[in-house]
Structure 1
Amino acid sequence: MTDPFAQAIHDCHFDELAGPLLYRNGEETHEAAVAAVYLDEWEPDGEAGDWFESWLDGPLLDMGAGGGRHALYFQEQFETVAIDNSEPLVAVMRDRGVADARLGDMFALRESFERDRFRSALAVGTQLSLARSEAGVTEFLADLAYVTTPNATAVLDCFDPEHERTREMLDFYEDATPGRAYRVLQFEYDGTLGEPWLYRLFTPETLRELTVGTDWRVADVRRGSGEWDHNVNIALEKC
């Protein structure tokens, strides 16, 4: 088992879960609600649904699609291609009915798609933070620009590093630079501890700064509510 996170989601979907999926930071652990967080049905309604639908159109690229929650919803409206860099998760998506689920890395988009392939793109799950650095974010934005049309839009999300709820997360670490922080998280499942995942956290204002000089601009920012009020959805559009 090389990826405990993906394997736990795979096993949960196929009713073969061998134990809890744990978030681990050193000796401290939290149990992940696998089915509720990664495999539940995604049907946005009200203001949230209107916001997402206003920024997305087909063909849509769903990046880091995981269990396919968003792809299942949007493929009913327009062509949707869902990618993930984990074979177990691609298998889950296909079994759940994602029409076009592929093995692919959102940080190597030019290797998988031609220029101007998509009208919009989506990465909800704070995957942008896995770019590891500010340079990684700008490189990702350049690749995303290559595979999207001149009038493209994109929706990304992140945890606001200045929000109290983010700062209370198991794996949160301060950064000396304002508007930034990071997380270092390991997943453990069925006796296997995965490699650490490094997340770089940016405030929406910092991400706006990082788009300067790229083909994108921050067009809108939507903050979550309730227990997700530390989560921020960011709409980008080509400029």
Structure 2
Amino acid sequence: MADPYGRAIRDFHRDEQDEPLIDRDGDESRDHAIEEYYFGEHTPEEWFEPRVDGPLLDIGAGAGRDALYFQERVETVALEVSEHLVTVLEERGVENARLGDMFALREQFGRDRFQAALAVGTQIQLAPSDHALREFLADLAHVTTPDGVALLHGYDPEAAVEEDVFACRSDPTSGIAHRVYHSEYEGEVGETLLFRLCSVDRLREATVGTAWHVADSRQEDVTWLAVLEKDE
């Protein structure tokens, strides 16, 4: 499968990128800010880090900013769906980089494998429905310990629509919006991505019936961060 997104980030890492990575939504396009998103200065959220006491799963690890930080003090597994990004992770010094699907965690890891997990980059909003989001949360609960904690990241639908975030579309359903775009690099076209943006309130509703509850959340411009803890 074509992977212009991962290949462009790999080329940037190797100082071999001669053309921009383009995100395209119909006639609208933008240059993807690779350096800013994946290689700039970064420190994990101070209000999440103290909750991490054991093995950590970095879901959608990108170029490894969080994995490189956390592996200095806890066992860290970096999960990526792109072979090119797994290569970047390994070349940057991530000790345990895995190729895998974030929506198939039970198939890749055993019960109670991790004490903590994070998914920073809004990738959880690739879940196409509330049901799919609940399934992801259930799988995440399965692979984390009873005292597990998770940090999730997403676009706030109302703020994203108001601020005209690239490729964002409103939805009549309360607490929901969408983003639709694909990436292009050196003539290679990637698959179209459909993000279902949900609010923290919708996330809170999605935890019902799972082992999780939203313990804390924060708004950051057009995105939110939410810490999930296990129910006692």
Instruction: Give the equivalent residue in structure 1 for 2:37.
Output: 37
SS at match of 1:2: coil
Instruction: Give the equivalent residue in structure 1 for 2:12.
Output: 12
2:126/2:195 contact within 8 Å kept = yes
Pairing partner for 2:227 from 214, 217, 235: 235
Pairing partner for 2:51 from 32, 50, 55: 55
Instruction: Give the equivalent residue in structure 2 for 1:182.
Output: 178
1:220/1:234 contact within 8 Å kept = yes
Q: Report 1:99-114 matches (<5 A).
A: 99-114=95-110
Which stretches of structure 1, 4 residues or longer, exceed 6 Å deviation after superposition?
none
One-letter code of the match for 2:18? A
The verdict on how the C-alpha distance between 1:164 and 1:131 changes in structure 2, with shifts beyond 3 A counting, is closer
SS at match of 1:51: coil
Structure 2 CA distance for aligned equivalents of residues 59 and 234 of structure 1: 19
Q: Number of matched residues?
A: 231
1:199 Cα shift?
A: 0.4
- List per-residue Cα deviations over 1:85-113 (Å, max 9, x = no partner): 11100000000011111111111011111
- Unaligned 5+ residue runs, structure 1? none
Determine whether 1:26 maps to 2:18: no
Structure 1 CA distance for aligned equivalents of residues 76 and 60 of structure 2: 13
The verdict on how the C-alpha distance between 1:10 and 1:164 changes in structure 2, with shifts beyond 3 A counting, is closer
1:164 Cα shift?
A: 5.2
- Unaligned 5+ residue runs, structure 2? none
- Percent of aligned pairs sharing the same letter: 53
Relative to the length of structure 2, the TM-score reads 0.95
Relative to the length of structure 1, the TM-score reads 0.93
2:150/2:228 contact within 8 Å kept = yes
1:32 Cα shift?
A: 1.2
2:161/2:169 contact within 8 Å kept = no
